[in-house]
Structure 1
Amino acid sequence: MISGEFQNQVAIVTGAGQGIGFEICRQLTRQGASVILNDVDPELTANAAGKINQEQGGRCYGMAGNAADLNFIQEMVAAAVREFGQLTIAIANAGITLFGDFLTYTPEALHKVTETNIGGSFFLAQAASRQFIAQQSGGRILFMSSVTGVQAHKNLAAYAMTKAALQMLAKNLVIELSPFGITVNALAPGATLTERTAQDEDYEKIWSRLTPLGRPATPADIAQAALFLVSDKARHVTGQCLVIDGGWTSISPSPY
């Protein structure tokens, strides 16, 4: 028998083939939710969904595709309803980081970052909200911002701009979505040990030195906060951004 805080809940999590998104999916299913797990990489999607289904018995449905594509977003919402009967949670975790000096940053790079980070998040929230309203169920939306949306960071002007935008989007949607019982919040992770950041052999050492609590976050640190914001424990929390950075933004030392 399925039990847990998220029993009978159905979530879409984008960009979840590994790292933070994967851990959010795993923790949601462990707490009873069914999940549409998305990643742009088909192999990562299949492997991630397979791992979770092996652990949790078939409550994860993998969908590979571009989380910034409106048609695909609508397909994910339809799949949630088809496979699990409804949709109650949408977590826009997919995003890309393209470092670059401001003076030489290209239009192509800017378009790619904004299309994924802002456009994909905006239209997932829109499609999910329409489904929540049709169900008359309320719902939870969570955007993945970043500490770079709070504090300046060298060579990340475009990325930081998109992450700050998501915080404002969460705040603004309170006006339009609260009457339907939909909460909208954002998370702003700091340095986090993932498969991607582990490719830098100095990453953990550098961010352990720069972080007041003495270590970068783990995906579980971020996932636990995400689960709080999409749970009934946070039913009166909306329009907020929770920073999870071990204290880094309080002092903001640069790794450069």
Structure 2
Amino acid sequence: MRFKDKVAIVTGAGQGIGFEICRMLNLEGAVVILNDVDPELCRQAAEKINAAGHEVCIPLTGDAADLNFIQELVDTAVNRYGKLDVVIANAGITLYGDFFSYSKDAFDQVMRVNLAGTFFLAQAAANQMKKQNGGSILFTSSVVGHRALKDLAVYAMTKAAVEMLATNLVIELSAYGINVNTVAPGATLTERTAEEADYEKVWSEITPMGRPAYAADIATAALFFVSDAARHVTGQHLIVDGGWSAISTLPQGLK
């Protein structure tokens, strides 16, 4: 029960990695505010966790890049429970596209969610955590912030940027007892990637550990960063990819 009496916010958590982070936090004692932009996904995810969890999981539907909603997330935690201990900025979108024809609209969408949403959630959370004398913030990055993949230039630059944001926030937040880190998933089996043809087979063949990650592999790393065991760990970036980035063998069709 590492997170007993802790209050956490996780964005983009209706399924996949975000959901598994919420589930694990809740099983280890945290009250979790679970956010997703899809109302049905958000509701169903919270119901699943509440059916098996030790503490309450509160669904809060909304756009994790909207400044008013970001403040609502923080206010919900504080108004109901008096504090905010953990914030995980997991919401993000991936819009593939050829560099030579990538649209301004797609560019703006990715920047808004992946960068502005992450930055302003961290800002709102940190302003609350300053009053409490501490807290933990985690950003979800990606292995493509370290290794290039075709048609992912815009997404990749946002993920590299959130890692630099975490590095820079060490200067801003350490004096208030707030640590900030990133976890960078590689290929991961989720509801979304399961829809891609041969995803598991392809990534199993080119990942040194013999398979893509499961959501639990990423969630386990995330929980370490926001646990008391990592209180002296800040400004760090952990790639969880089964060793793929060490060799970077590209899937067929992406070479």
- TM-score, normalised to structure 1's length? 0.97
Unaligned runs of 5+ in 1: none
Q: Is 1:239 aligned to residue 254 of structure 2?
A: no
What one-letter code is carried by the residue in structure 1 that aligns with 2:241?
D
Distance 1:57 1:9 in 2: 12
Provide, for residues 149-171 of structure 1, a one-character-per-residue CA deviation record: whole Å limited to 9, x for no partner: 00111000000000000110000
Counterpart for residue 96 of structure 1: 93
Which deviates more from structure 2 when the two are superposed, residues 82-91 or residues 166-175?
A: 82-91
Structure 1 residues 21-36: aligned runs within 5 Å: 21-36=18-33
Distance 2:247 2:9 in 1: 35
| Selected match of 2:174 from 172, 178, 181 | 178
What one-letter code is carried by the residue in structure 2 that aligns with 1:216?
P
- TM-score, normalised to structure 2's length? 0.97
Question: CA-atom RMSD, angstroms?
Answer: 0.8
Distance 1:65 1:28 in 2: 21
Structure 1 residues 1-256: aligned runs within 5 Å: 4-56=1-53, 59-136=56-133, 138-255=134-251, 256=253
The alpha carbon displacement at 1:253 in A equals 1.1
Tell me if the contact between 2:85 and 2:135 (Cα under 8 Å) persists in the aligned partners.
Answer: yes
Provide, for residues 50-107 of structure 1, a one-character-per-residue CA deviation record: whole Å limited to 9, x for no partner: 1111112551110000000000000000001122221010000000000000000000
Tell me if the contact between 2:30 and 2:55 (Cα under 8 Å) persists in the aligned partners.
Answer: no
What one-letter code is carried by the residue in structure 2 that aligns with 1:106?
S
Tell me if the contact between 2:166 and 2:236 (Cα under 8 Å) persists in the aligned partners.
Answer: yes
Q: SS at the partner of 1:185?
A: strand
Distance 2:54 2:80 in 1: 14
Provide, for residues 150-200 of structure 1, a one-character-per-residue CA deviation record: whole Å limited to 9, x for no partner: 011100000000000011000000001000000000011000000000001
What one-letter code is carried by the residue in structure 2 that aligns with 1:22?
F
Identity over aligned residues, as a percent?
A: 63
What one-letter code is carried by the residue in structure 2 that aligns with 1:114?
M
Tell me if the contact between 2:31 and 2:56 (Cα under 8 Å) persists in the aligned partners.
Answer: yes
Distance 1:57 1:31 in 2: 7
Distance 1:5 1:249 in 2: 31
What one-letter code is carried by the residue in structure 2 that aligns with 1:133?
K
Moved over 4 A (4+): none
Distance 2:38 2:129 in 1: 28
Which deviates more from structure 2 when the two are superposed, residues 48-57 or residues 93-102?
A: 48-57
